[in-house]
Chain A
Amino acid sequence: MERRSFLKGFGVAAACAVALPHVASAADEKKVVGPNEMNYETAVAAITGGKAVTPSAKVKMEAPEIAENGAVVPVKVTVTSPMTQKEYVKAIHVLASKNGNVRCANIYLTPANGEAFFGTRIKLGGTQDVVAIAEMSDGTFLSTKQNVKVTIGGCG
């Protein structure tokens, strides 16, 4: 019995998961030729559609304060959420505020993730803020940011 209801629950989650990414937002658009240049304001507007973004302690980012090498900067984002059908994190967006193309990754999550987490390594063209914007299932946008100082370290 328990198993059955569990499977049913997963079925719903999966159906929901398939439905989600069809809503391709303007933030996902890519050029076929040339660099995907986009500034911070345009990128945020494309993600939120003009809605307010609230800085929140629910969004946590782990990134080094100082990166000895801008080519590999570890970034981890966690968003506090029960990740149920009713209440979950729809997407985590990672932005490097001063890169030529500020967009790094748009991660479309589903309740099947269990926890809203995304970890990666990014390139930073210089010292700047790394920003994470979480799109919640209730349509609100929460964010956090961290400044990463990029130094050119050492020899070779």
Chain B
Amino acid sequence: MRRLTVCAALLSAALCGVLNAEEKMSMSDADKAMYAELLENNPAEMDVAEGEQLFGDLIGAEGYAKMLGVNEKDLAAYLAGFPRYVEPAKKVVTLSQTIQMAAATAKKPVPKLESKEMVKMTAYVKSLANGEKTSIDVKANKHMEQMLKLGQQVFEERRGGRGLSCNSCHSADIVGQRLRMQPLPDLGAKETAAAGTWPAYRMTQSQMVTLDKRFQQCMNNALLAKIPLGSREMVALEVFITNKTKGNEIQIPGLKR
């Protein structure tokens, strides 16, 4: 009996040791503040400036607003509500897809969703709504309602050889647990600001990445087949995640680990 108690004591001591070690392996508040300060000099600002040029050559804000059927002065507020149902496309689309529509309208070559130019232009167009609050309306019409439902399904569907879903690592009950020393973020939290801060510069990759591209990178690491950019399922996933942080301020470009 006594031996058992000793064992238990040793075990708990060992566990405490592990926990303490883990504690020291995550960034302190001072470290986090240093990284937050990096936002002041986000290399992606140069990409956004290039995006402005590319977008200007393609269509420009005036032609773009006209194509979307909104007043140019209401454009920022309108852009804050993406992904949304747009009449000319007759479906729910992302900002990147509206740029493709704009290119088609202007009878110019349509940029691929995967292209660097598209990432830069998407970031620029979304930056027009900087300071606005994300205002996705999942109850706006039956299209949005369907997409939200589909998005949740995509989020929770277990796939791949390991039977993982987005939810496996991002469900609310395991937020804060560590995956390779990195605390798992709460995708619905204000500070995560998922909807308002993508496209973002990813420091691990030294490049700017769109939200849907980030989803693909996540799928890749979880050994899931990548859902194609622009597919109904991918747009639905963006609707679902964006809706989680509705009301967050848009600050483009973001800066992520």
Please tell me whether chains A and B touch each other in their complex, using a CB distance cut-off of 8 A.
yes
Where the two chains meet, the residues of A that have a C-beta atom closer than 8 Å to any C-beta of B are: 62-69, 71-72, 74, 121, 149, 151-156
Residues of A within 8 A of B28 (CB): 65-66
Q: Once the chains bind, are B179 and A154 in contact (CB under 8 Å)?
A: yes
Residues of B within 8 A of A71 (CB): 203-204, 206
- Given contacts A68-B181, A151-B181, A154-B179, 11 further A-B pairs with CB under 8 A are A65-B27, A65-B31, A68-B257, A74-B38, A121-B38, A149-B25, A151-B180, A154-B180, A154-B182, A155-B221, A156-B221
Going nearest first, the 3 A-B pairs with the smallest beta carbon separation are A154-B182, A153-B182, A64-B31
Q: How far is the CA of A74 from the CA of B180 in the complex (A)?
A: 21
Chain B interface size band reads 20 to 34
Q: Once the chains bind, are A155 and B169 in contact (CB under 8 Å)?
A: yes
Residues of A within 8 A of B181 (CB): 68, 151-154
Contact check: which of A62, A66, A155, A156 meets B27 at CB < 8 Å? A66
Q: Does B222 contact A (CB under 8 A)?
A: yes
- Known interface pairs A64-B34, A74-B38. Does A155 touch B222 (Cβ–Cβ under 8 Å)? yes
Main secondary structure of the interface of A (DSSP, over half): loop
CB distance from B216 to the nearest CB of A (A): 9
Tell me how many residue pairs across A and B have CB atoms closer than 8 Å.
Answer: 64
Residues of A within 8 A of B206 (CB): 71-72
Nearest chain A residue, comparing its CB with the CB of B38: A74
Q: How far is the CA of A67 from the CA of B257 in the complex (A)?
A: 10
Residues of B within 8 A of A62 (CB): 34
Q: Once the chains bind, are A74 and B218 in contact (CB under 8 Å)?
A: no
Q: Once the chains bind, are A69 and B38 in contact (CB under 8 Å)?
A: no
Q: Once the chains bind, are B203 and A155 in contact (CB under 8 Å)?
A: no
Q: Once the chains bind, are B26 and A66 in contact (CB under 8 Å)?
A: yes
B12-31: which residues lie under 8 A (CB-CB) from chain A? 24-28, 30-31
Residues of A within 8 A of B220 (CB): 156
Contact check: which of B25, B30, B179, B203 meets A69 at CB < 8 Å? B203
> Which of A64, A68, A74 gathers the greatest number of chain B CB atoms within 10 Å?
A68
Q: How far is the CA of A68 from the CA of B27 in the complex (A)?
A: 8
Q: Does B37 contact A (CB under 8 A)?
A: yes
Q: Once the chains bind, are A72 and B203 in contact (CB under 8 Å)?
A: yes
Q: Once the chains bind, are A151 and B25 in contact (CB under 8 Å)?
A: yes
Q: Once the chains bind, are B182 and A156 in contact (CB under 8 Å)?
A: no
Nearest chain B residue, comparing its CB with the CB of A155: B221
Nearest chain A residue, comparing its CB with the CB of B206: A71
Nearest chain A residue, comparing its CB with the CB of B218: A156
CB distance from A121 to the nearest CB of B (A): 7
Q: Once the chains bind, are B180 and A155 in contact (CB under 8 Å)?
A: yes
CB pairs A–B below 8 angstroms (20 shown): A63-B34, A64-B30, A65-B28, A65-B31, A66-B26, A67-B31, A68-B27, A69-B203, A71-B203, A71-B206, A72-B206, A74-B34, A121-B38, A152-B180, A153-B182, A153-B257, A154-B181, A155-B169, A155-B179, A155-B221
Q: How far is the CA of A78 from the CA of B76 in the complex (A)?
A: 41
> Which of A63, A67, A155 gathers the greatest number of chain B CB atoms within 10 Å?
A155
Residues of A within 8 A of B37 (CB): 74
Q: Does B217 contact A (CB under 8 A)?
A: yes
Nearest chain A residue, comparing its CB with the CB of B37: A74
